[in-house]
Amino acid sequence: MKKLINDPHDVVKEAVAGFVAAHSDLVAAGPDPEELFVHRRGGAVPGKVGLVSGGGSGHEPLHVGFVGEGMLDAAVPGAVFTSPTPGPILAATKAADGGAGVLHIVKNYTGDVLNFETAAELADAEDIDVAAVIINDDVAVQDSLFTAGRRGVAGTVLVEKIAGASAERRDDLATVAAVATKVNERTRSMGVALHACTVPHAGELSFELAEDEIEIGIGIHGEPGRERIPMAGADDITDRLLDAVTTDLGLSGGEEVLLFVNGMGATPLSELYIVYGRAAERLAAAGVKVTRSLVGNYTTALDMQGCSVTVLHLDEELTTLWDAPAKTPAMRSET
C-alpha cells in the first residue's frame, strides 16, 4: 500500500484540517476536535432550515466538500468507512440550527441511520426540531454488508444540492424534507468497480478482482454488487448500469432527467466522459431528454477504480432548485 498519508489513524483528522485550511473562506471546523464536524463559515443562518449530513470518511468530497451556501450547513466525517457517533452529529446539528429546525440527510447504512436517530433524539431533548431523509438510491442489491434495504450512494449529492436550495429560499422544515424525499424517490444509481480500494488502517485491498473481471453493482465501501463479469468495453458496462437504473426508475420516454456519472476516486475524467457520452446517447435513443448533467468525482470510495451512473427524473421544481446558486468547496453554481 502506498498512500500520501502519515499515521493511518490520523488520516481523517489531518485531511479535514487541510480541507478547512484550504477553504477557510467558506468553512470552519467545530470547536472540539473530539467531536469533529465542519460547518459553514459564520455558523447557522437565522430563520433557515439547517442541513446536516455525514457518514464514514473515504467518500470525499462527500460530505464536507458540500458545506456552504446553497447546500449543507454542517457535515460530520466519521472514521474511514465508519459512521460518526451521535456526539459529533448532535454538535453539528446544534451548530446548524438557525431556529427553523434541522434536516438530517443520511445514507442508508445501519450505523449511520442509528447514530443519526440517536442524535436527533438528543437534539429533540434540547428543543431542536429534526427531520431526517434516508437516501437509498442504489438499485444494485436489496440488502448488503452494512445495510438493510438499498444503499445510499452518489444520489446523495443531488439531494444535498436540491434540498439545500429549498432551505436557502426559506422553505420550512417539512417542505425541505419533502423536497429531499422527492429527490431520493426520483433518483437511482448503480456502480461498477474495475479495481478495489485500500482502507488506510487495513493496508490491504478491500476485495480482490482478477485482471480480467469487474464487479457490477459495487457498493461505495467495496461491498459486493450483483455479479462479477469478465472485463468489457465502456459501452457495454455503461449499458448494464444505465439499463438497471432506468428500468427501476420506470422511465418510458418523454421524461427530463439529470444524468450524473460519478467517479469512484481513481478513474480518469476522460473515462467518465466516455461513459457519460454513451449513457446520454442511450437515453436520447429511448426518448428521454437529458437537460442537466454532472460528471466527476463526487462520491468516491478512496482509490477505487470505477464509476457509477445516476439518473434523476427532473420536474420543473427540481430543475429550478438544481440551478440555484451554490458556493461550496466542491460544487459551485451561479444564477
Q: Does 278 bind a second copy (CB under 8 A)?
A: yes
Q: Decide whether 246 or 305 has the Cβ nearer to a second copy.
A: 305
State in angstroms the smallest separation of the CB of 196 from a second copy.
Answer: 12
12 binds a second copy (CB under 8 A): yes
Q: Residue with C-alpha cell 428543543?
A: 127
* Nearer CB in complex with a second copy: 1/145: 1
Write down how long the chain is. Answer: 335
CA distance 126 to 17: 29
Q: What residues numbered 113-142 form the site for a second copy, per CB under 8 A?
A: none
Q: Minimum distance from CB of 124 to a second copy (Å)? A: 33
What minimum distance in Å lies between the beta carbon of 134 and a second copy? 25
Stretch that binds a second copy, among 101-109, 160-168, 274-282, 313-321 (CB under 8 A): 274-282
CA of 253: how far to CAs of 94, 186, 261, 292, in Å? Answer: 44, 15, 20, 16
Residue 275 makes contact with a second copy by CB under 8 A: yes
How far is Cα 24 from Cα 40, in angstroms, rounded to an integer?
Answer: 10
CA distance 168 to 175: 12
- Give, in degrees to the nearest 5, the angle at Cα 316 between 314 and 317: 95
Query: 53 is written with which cell numbers?
Result: 449530513
For residue 299, give the nearest of 199, 235, 220, 230 by alpha carbon: 220
Least distance between a second copy and beta carbon 102 (Å): 26
Q: Which is closer to a second copy, CB of 96 or CB of 326?
A: 326
- Residue 4 or 125: which CB sits closer to a second copy? 4
Do residues 98 and 69 make contact, with C-beta atoms less than 8 angstroms apart?
A: no
- Within residues 200-259, the interface with a second copy by CB under 8 A covers 211, 214, 231, 233-235, 237, 259
Q: Judged by CB under 8 A, does residue 161 bind a second copy?
A: no
Given the complex with a second copy, which of 170 and 273 has the nearer CB atom?
A: 273
- Strands of the chain (E only): list them: 27-29, 38-40, 50-57, 74-80, 102-107, 130-135, 187-195, 213-216, 227-230, 256-263, 289-296, 305-313, 326-327, 332-333
For residue 156, state whether it binds a second copy (rule: CB under 8 A).
Answer: no
Q: Left (φ > 0), alpha (ψ -120 to 50) or beta: where does 58 sit?
A: left
* Shortest distance (Å) from residue 194 CB to a second copy: 4
Please answer whether residues 78 and 151 qualify as being in contact, where contact means their C-beta atoms are separated by less than 8 angstroms: no
Neighbours of 331 (CB within 10 A): 20
Q: Is 22 a binder of a second copy (CB under 8 A)?
A: yes
* Distance from the Cα of residue 113 to its chain's centroid: 15
Given 23, 39, 195, 221, the catalytic residue: 221
Whole-number minimum distance, CB 283 to a second copy, in Å? 11
For residue 59, indicate whether it is catalytic: yes
Contact window for a second copy (CB under 8 A) among 97-105, 127-135, 244-252, 304-312: 304-312
Restricting to residues 48-107, which ones interact with a second copy according to CB under 8 A?
57-58, 60-61, 65
Q: Does 150 bind a second copy (CB under 8 A)?
A: no
Backbone φ and ψ of 204, nearest 5°: -140, 165
# chain residues binding a second copy, by CB under 8 A: 59
Binding site for a second copy (CB under 8 A): 2-6, 11-12, 14-19, 21-23, 57-58, 60-61, 65, 194-195, 211, 214, 231, 233-235, 237, 259, 265-278, 280, 293, 295, 297, 300, 302-303, 305-307, 327, 332-334
Kindly list the catalytic residues: 59, 221
